[in-house]
Amino acid sequence: MPNTPFVHRNLPRLLLQAREAVMAHTRPSLRMHGLSDQQWRVLRVLGEHAQEVSGVETGRVAKEAYLLGPSLTGVLARMERDGLIARSRCPQDARRTVVRATPAGLAKVLALSETIEAHYSWMEAQLGKAPMQQLYALLDKVIAAEDDTLNAIETPQGTEDQA
């Protein structure tokens, strides 16, 4: 068997496996409520921004729910058909679309939040409160480091100080 040039474990695969392990507890509840993973991510984002009366711009929803624009379009169409969201033109810019969770959508967020929070409590009991906080902190650090790297790559050299 040839030696592999890799020294480190496959972090993207480990993160995907961890995501699937967590989602294995969440998916049955989502399915009971007739939701896909993507629909839940959209509803969770909208639930977190429910106080924004005018709605959330679709680009922001796509970013926070980690959905590509074309995928989001189909997801939103199905959710609107099912009465979970309402779409309208942005009051400040008619070229943009904003989305709000309907009362039915918010009811699903509320119902699912209990199940999901119970699972997080179970995870915290299994791992311990401090390790769970460390996990969140490490994930935040990884995300911030990668964001910094992407920003450095996207910024042409020598233009950072030219403001």
The pLDDT, as a whole number, for residue 161 is 45
Rounded Cα distance between 101 and 49, Å, is 9
Supply the pLDDT for residue 51: 87
Has residue 139 been placed in a domain? yes
Residues forming beta bridges with residue 89, ordered by sequence position: 97
pLDDT in tens, 20-60: 999 999 999 999 999 999 999 999 999 999 888 788 999 99
3-state class of 68 per DSSP?
coil
Distance CA 40, CA 105 (A): 10
Residue 86 sits in a domain whose CATH number is: 1.10.10.10
Residue 3 domain-assigned?
Answer: no
Ramachandran region of residue 55, left (φ > 0), alpha (ψ -120 to 50) or beta? left
Number of structural domains found in the chain: 1
For 30-60, give one letter per residue: b (16+ CB within 10 A) or e.
beebebeebbbbbbbbbbebeeeeebbbbeb
Q: Is residue 4 part of a domain?
A: no
Which residue(s) pair with 101 in the sheet? 85
Q: Which pLDDT value is given to residue 162?
A: 44
Q: Pick out the chain residues at pLDDT < 70.
A: 1-2, 150-163
The whole-number pLDDT of residue 155 equals 54
Structural domain contains residue 162: no
Which residue segment(s) compose the domain that 129 sits in? 11-152
- Give the pLDDT score at 69: 87
pLDDT score, position 163: 42
Report the amino acid identity of residue 69. Answer: G
